[in-house]
Amino acid sequence: AQSVTQPDIHITVSEGASLELRCNYSYGATPYLFWYVQSPGQGLQLLLKYFSGDTLVQGIKGFEAEFKRSQSSFNLRKPSVHWSDAAEYFCAVGNSGGSNYKLTFGKGTLLTVNP
């Protein structure tokens, strides 16, 4: 069974600073990888996804993530954080099981942005 670990429960950064949120996964084959963002009282919005090919993927709102197979990681980065980026971020891993597809989420990282 696949699993996801987000080691950081809560991260605080200053506006304009760079950001990296960590994500490690466990899955026996090449996974589908996702980052979702959730603002308070809202559903989950997809930031970016990796299926195959280029290991550096670009997403919305200036976010990017890099798939590193050797480290089983898919860390999310942004060069300059804006106050509106304050939210909870979830990493998710999907198997490539076709009709048995399953998407498993990490516990999330809460991002606070200081002015």
Partner 1 sequence: EAGVVQSPRYKIIEKKQPVAFWCNPISGHNTLYWYLQNLGQGPELLIRYENEEAVDDSQLPKDRFSAERLKGVDSTLKIQPAELGDSAVYLCASSPIIGGPGTGELFFGEGSRLTVL
Q: Which residues would be at the binding site for partner 1 (CB under 8 A)?
A: 4, 32, 34, 36, 41-46, 49, 51, 90, 92, 94, 98-108
Of residues 93, 86, 70, the one with CA closest to residue 5: 93
| Contact present, 20 and 76 (Cβ < 8 Å) | yes
Tokens representing 97?
């099981």
The CB-of-13 to partner 1 minimum distance in angstroms stands at 20
Per DSSP, which regions of 39-86 are E strands?
44-50, 56-58, 64-68, 73-78
Looking at residue 34, its amino acid is F
The CB-of-90 to partner 1 minimum distance in angstroms stands at 5
The CB-of-103 to partner 1 minimum distance in angstroms stands at 6
The CB-of-16 to partner 1 minimum distance in angstroms stands at 27
In the complex with partner 1, which residue's Cβ is closer, 82 or 107? 107
What's the Rg (C-alpha) of the chain?
Answer: 14
In the complex with partner 1, which residue's Cβ is closer, 45 or 71? 45
In the complex with partner 1, which residue's Cβ is closer, 28 or 115? 28
